[in-house]
Structure 1
């Protein structure tokens, strides 16, 4: 608990409140310092595994020879099969606190494509977002965090993650699925935060056919989803939403 002073009715009074945890984590891969992620301090192995997965450095849990997180020193030591590329060019993204990626496809590259699948009902999307809201425990306590979840086509929530960075929530989902040997391809993604190009590209790489957010996507995210075959939904709230790309995947009449 953190001591604060609360202002109300013209007076300042002493109070206590919970605050959001912010944890810098250095990731070392094959004795090479790769990146420092700023994240929430819980379940860091999922975050590390997911970050390396969405960057394309690992493809399965069997690619890890070692994954050790030392919370005391803020270091994750990882050993993977094979070697990292000799040259890595980090890209600072629009994530909260600035995210980082080593593989951000641009519009027009056409190197990511999600397979067509069964139609999705609006009811399933609303059900997933409602479950995500109920699962957002940290936000209920002190706010300041983002949440995301993946679920089945029938609206059943499968995995949930929270973090101070919205880009980290998807990494956490990817990492937990990898470690638990769960398949994300064909699942639906719902998120509380803005959908950026990085989020869209990661979802495409994971084979996710639909992304829905309570807020807006960026123009680059829309282009990536259009080319990758992803249905992109924004402003999902109060029984309504906007569909930016591929509305044909929804089992609802389009005019």
Structure 2
């Protein structure tokens, strides 16, 4: 697997009524196949960076691991795009088909509705007590955008960053919005970082998939410069997650659990 996340390519550009040759920076896209306990488990396309974190985070979000200690061995073959993972517990990967089956129903007596069985099993109701001020919401989004260098060059990736109430911790980039969040999840597991008191800032739309990823990671607040979907807001209500969207300039919208966003005076 090529380790470069972007490449320069000669293109023809139409500008001011004429065609001209120039160069553009193009984001890289590569397949990654995960083998779990000796069996082929899943194939995805991703940006070729932080592959180990992506693999760990993906397995955790799918419910196959809960902590890094459950991983016996992991080997990444970047040149061919393979990840080989052995767990201490032999898990039947054939059950992955069950994990991807459609499922609609209530959970724990509440109104939440999930599309897939593994979402109902692995999404956590947040118990986070963290609060952010108005200025922090705006500042965290600005920090995410400032560190998103690949997006600034290519416009072709999603970015996610993890914050505590006091500081920036890490950011990750990928062509897939879910991959960027899985890389954050994998980083937290690998480095044993507690997530309940953390915040995720995200570059794209807060879809139900993105909201569920945040719930699986375990954070209490997700920030975005874009909009949420209706289903994402319903899930955020039920999973006790504060969803903040349209963080642009000095304004934003709070769509669920606004009690975590406080004024400077309250803080």
Fold conserved (TM > 0.5)?
Answer: yes
Q: Counterpart of 1:170?
A: 181
Residue segments in structure 1 that go unaligned for 5+ positions in a row: 94-100
Q: Is the 8 A contact 1:67 1:77 kept in 2?
A: yes
Query: TM-score normalized by structure 1?
Result: 0.89
Show the counterpart of 2:29: 22
Alpha-carbon distance between aligned partners in 1 of 2:84 and 2:122, rounded to the nearest angstrom: 34
Matching residue within 74, 84, 98 for 1:67: 74
Secondary structure at 1:103 match in 2: helix
Q: Quick check: 1:88–1:102 contact (8 Å CA) kept in 2? A: no
Pair 91,110 (structure 1): closer, same or farther in 2 beyond 3 Å = closer
SS of the equivalent of 1:245 reads coil
Deviation, structure 1 residue 235: 0.8
Q: Where do 4+ consecutive residues of structure 1 move more than 4 Å?
A: none
Which residue number in structure 1 is paired with residue 150 of structure 2? 138
CA contact (8 A) 1:27 1:78 kept: yes
User: 1:110, 1:71 → 2: CA distance?
Assistant: 29
**TM-aligned CA deviation for residue 116 of structure 1:** 4.1
Aligned to 1:219: 230
Check the 8 A contact 2:138/2:249 in 1, yes or no.
no
In the TM superposition, what whole-angstrom CA distance separates every residue of 1:114-157 from its partner, at most 9, and x where no partner exists? 11414221111111111101110101222211101010113x11
Q: Check whether the contact 1:196–1:221 (CA below 8 A) recurs between aligned residues.
A: yes
Q: Cα offset for 1:63?
A: 1.2
The residue that corresponds to 2:204 in the other structure is: 193
Q: Does 1:88 align with 2:96?
A: yes
Q: CA RMSD in A?
A: 2.2
Cα separation, partners in 2 of 1:240 and 1:5, compared to 1, 3 Å = same
Q: Residues 6, 184 of structure 1: CA spacing in aligned structure 2 closer, same or farther, 3 A cutoff?
A: same
